[in-house]
Structure 1
C-alpha cells in the first residue's frame, strides 16, 4: 500500500489522510468491542497522532475501561461511524478504526486481545499474538 491513504466515515462528512502505516493492527474481543462492532470483535490500528490529518467535525464519547483508563471515541455526528479511539492521558497514539480506510488491504490483525471474552465459534489464526485481557 502506498501512503498517504485516505479514509472516511460512511456519509463522508469526516475524511482523513493517513501518512504512514499503522504501528500494529489488533482485534479486540472484549464485550464492549463486540457491542461497538455488532460482531465478534473490533479492529483497531494503532497509529501515531501526527500520522493523520482529519477534516470534518466529530463528536466524542468516553467511558472508563476495566483497567481504570479513560477510553474516548471520536465519531461522525451524522452517521455515527467511529473514526478512532484514544486515551486522553496518552494523546501520542490513536486507535484508528481501519475499516474506514479507502484501501483496507493493510488490515491484517497480528494481535488478538481480550481472548478470554471471545466468541467460542471464532478461531484465532495460528501464529498471532494473543492476550487473555489487555496487554
Structure 2
C-alpha cells in the first residue's frame, strides 16, 4: 500500500450514503473474530483507521446497526451495507471498511487480529498477526511501522 491518493470518495452499495476521506489511514487491519465474520458475511472484516478529522459523510446519513453497544457500527439505512465503525472511547479515528471506497486500490491489511477464531482457509497477507487484539501499548509502534511500510 504505497499510493493512498487523497481525497478518496466512496459510498454504500446503493449510493444513498456517500463519504469522503481526506487523510491517510493510521493503520489497516483484518479482523477474524466470529462477530466480524457474521457482520461481514465473510471470513474476516477489513478496516482502515482514518483520523476522524479526515472522514466525512457528504451525502445521506448512516444508522447504527449490528450490535447496539458502546462501539457503534454504522450502516446505510436503505441497503444495510456495513460502512464504518466508531470504537468506544476512541473518537479520534473511524474504522472505515475500505471496500466502501470507489477505488480501494492500494489497500492491504498491515495487521490481522483474532486469528484464534480464523477460518482455516482465510489468508490476508498481513505483516503482523495476533491471536486477539494487539496489546494497547503496541499500537504506537505498529502505527510507526505502518507509516514506514506505506511510505507516508
Query: Normalising by structure 2, what TM-score?
Result: 0.79
- Which of 17, 27, 30 in structure 2 is aligned with 1:27? 30
Please show how residues 1-135 of structure 1 align to structure 2 within 5 Å: 1-54=4-57, 55-61=59-65, 62-64=67-69, 70-125=70-125, 128-135=127-134
Q: Secondary structure at the match of 1:104?
A: coil
Tell me how far 1:30 sits from its aligned partner: 0.2
Gaps of 5+ in 1: 65-69
Tell me how far 1:102 sits from its aligned partner: 0.7
Q: Is the 8 A contact 2:109 2:124 kept in 1?
A: no
Provide the alpha-carbon RMSD of the alignment: 1.5
C-alpha distance in 1 between matches for 2:45 and 2:80: 16
Structure 1 residues 123 and 60, CA, compared in 2 at 3 Å: closer, same or farther? closer
Structure with the larger helix share: 2
**Deviations along 1:62-121, whole A, 9 cap, x unmatched?**
445xxxxx3211111000011210124221111001100011113200101000000012
C-alpha distance in 2 between matches for 1:102 and 1:122: 25
C-alpha distance in 2 between matches for 1:124 and 1:52: 25
**Deviations along 1:18-67, whole A, 9 cap, x unmatched?**
01211111000000010011111000110111101212111113445xxx
Query: Normalising by structure 1, what TM-score?
Result: 0.88
Structure with the larger strand share: 1
